[in-house]
A and B are shown apart, each in its own frame.
Chain A
């Protein structure tokens, strides 16, 4: 029999989306002076809200508010006191988790299963984790009494809007900095709900400021002379611009940029779990993951068998309504991103790789792309070199472990990698030779606030998470 799952939508009624949003500066929502823009639900292209655009003057106001809060309140406050606010924020995130998850799925297009089970719990975990550090900074290995930097300008991407906010704000606040954060243009809503959570937690005004806008707003923030620290997560191109603008200034900089991770499956891997890991590595969050396992390297002796299992598994992926609790793959975040994915996938075909997607019906409205795997991919193909940032997997094969490592490292990026084998010594041998900031063994896309995350080469520098994540926000 055919077991059809009836629609099981999470109710959107739990979240109250306002028709328009201002900037969050000095503890108040204020008007922006740029031309407002709209945030769209990528699953059906409806407009969710009108969002204020911060111009240079607005950014200036926000930085000034952060400076005042840093000098008068947050910087002098004992760590144990700062921790109380962070714990409070973490608890409120947990209490309002359904609201946050639904809003994240509506604004971003990611399945509710992921926003509910991954994004929001990790957000709370990050605040809890860094709350614990706030009064123990002297024991973090950066000197007996490390000082905060001051005002941090933070620019985050659209793929994990709230989670990237947490990765940025939690360590900055724990260390005693104040922040001006710019969420991505297409996904500002959860950051603005977070502003409300800051007020609910009675966080002193100006400690967290949120300015919405596009690239211009980001540039104004990154280049603002009153910013002591710039933290950016996003594309390598923009990262380069920011690095250029910060060069020659006293600003500290951490960059978390693109990736083209290799997921290496050896012949002795636990194949069923490797297939799960490959699927999770590339189709998690529609492949909008900087550390996505977008290059599958399979030992040729098991390549055929693995591909067959992979295709069978891909055929069970449920693509559709992000709010349906049974959806595995949601909507592509924006029309622009969809066009980019299409262009690269077409280039893959044109360059001679073989393209396969399971039969799957895509909704008529919104931005959608079927899970896709390319076989017969060469290292020289664009789909093996460029970050696609979509649900597109390129499969290559290797014969020896040396070849696997050589191919895995043959990329300008170096953010993450995966190793699948039942042999412990092979995990260690391979991990030592991979030039990637994070190496997962027999798992993929596993995140924990205690674990540092960051890249090699063009994937950026600096680490977020764990004790290492404190360094970027301390005068160490």
Chain B
């Protein structure tokens, strides 16, 4: 009997060419998301007041979850090496600061980052699949992915084909994710939904499940190249999705909001959201990441403020 493997959806019979129809029915059958209610919930959690010892814990946790990122056309090997040095020792003056989770670069910078991070235990994440638009033939996307993995990337951040998703061609999106997952080999796959282009929270929930069923190890909000990037309501819905997915299948998937997270306050709001939505099981760099770069210096400043009682000026922290 002809079958297709739909990841966690299980092996589905394609005898009547029903696989995509079943997938679509499943995604359409997910409970809806009320935008007003979800936004209210996210806004209420954002009023949590995290002070003193809880703030200190949250800052260190947030630092350890940062995917320190540089994704510019103007990136140089020197800039990447500087970023790697910062990733390993975010505050050279204070050895108690934890290292960040990963350094995230374009595929052609992977080997530079891998060499710079050798021995630090920090992984290199690479965007791939014609980031950020995803507009390339599948063969090019797979080649992009393989090149990054071969250069030593431990994590691949792929983008989904939003055009296909929005036009209803869910099978194409699913197949691409599955193919990229296959090309990743042992590398972890983060699937970028680009929620700013998905427009509704219903779509965010459906795309989250689609990515998880196709094999995503992480679901990620945004490329950072499209506004709006990560928002609290979007992340709330994705956290609900990974929580429900684990309850249904037993497999835990991580979440990564990316873009627009600039201050310690922002970062702490995300941690509260994780804590009270998906739960404490997600409160580690293994299951939650913050895709950001400028937030790191604010976290370091707030950290030193808590320790010394005084705000150091921005010039006391390195730019990259």
Contacts and interface: CB of A to CB of B under 8 A. Distances in A.
B50 A273 contact: no
A269 B275 CA distance: 25
B275 A3 contact: yes
Interface in A1-37: 1-8
B32 interface: yes
A113 B48 CA distance: 9
A268 B30 CA distance: 9
Contacts of A8: 49-51
Nearest to A117: B47
B54 A5 contact: yes
Contacts of B31: 268-272
A98 to B, nearest CB: 14
A269 B34 CA distance: 9
Interface in B26-40: 31-34, 36-38, 40
Contact of A113 (B47, B52, B283): B47
Contact of B276 (A1, A269, A272, A316): A316
Nearest to A279: B41
A44 interface: no
Question: Which range holds the interface residue count of chain B?
Answer: 20 to 34
Contacts of A271: 31
A326 interface: yes
B280 interface: yes
Contact of B61 (A1, A270, A277): A1
A14 B108 CA distance: 59
A258 to B, nearest CB: 27
A311 interface: no
Contact of B41 (A2, A3, A268, A276): A276
A325 B53 CA distance: 16
A448 B36 CA distance: 16
B58 interface: yes
A196 interface: no
A443 interface: yes
Contact of B40 (A4, A270, A276): A276
Interface in B1-43: 31-34, 36-38, 40-41
B49 A272 contact: no
Most chain-B CB neighbours within 10 Å: which of A1, A270, A325?
A270
Contacts of A375: none
Most chain-B CB neighbours within 10 Å: which of A5, A117, A269, A422?
A5
Interface of A is mostly: loop
B263 interface: no
Interface residues of A, number: 24
Given A272-B33, A276-B41, A1 B280 contact: yes
Contacts of A325: 47-49
Most chain-A CB neighbours within 10 Å: which of B37, B38, B54?
B37
Contact of B32 (A113, A268, A276, A326): A268
Interface string B256-282: 000000000000000110011000100
Given A1-B61, A6-B53, A325-B49, A273 B276 contact: no
Interface string A256-300: 000000000000111111001100000000000000000000000
A3 B53 contact: no
A270 B38 CA distance: 10
A3 B57 contact: yes
Contacts of B55: 6
Nearest to A267: B31
A269 B32 CA distance: 7
Nearest to A302: B31
Given A1-B284, A270-B34, A443-B36, A6 B54 contact: yes
Which 7 pairs from chain A and chain B are nearest by CB? A273-B37, A8-B49, A325-B49, A6-B54, A273-B34, A270-B34, A271-B31
Given A4-B54, A270-B33, A276-B37, 6 more contacts: A3-B271, A5-B49, A270-B37, A272-B38, A273-B33, A276-B41
12 contacts: A1-B61, A1-B280, A3-B61, A3-B272, A4-B57, A5-B54, A269-B31, A269-B32, A270-B33, A272-B41, A273-B33, A273-B38
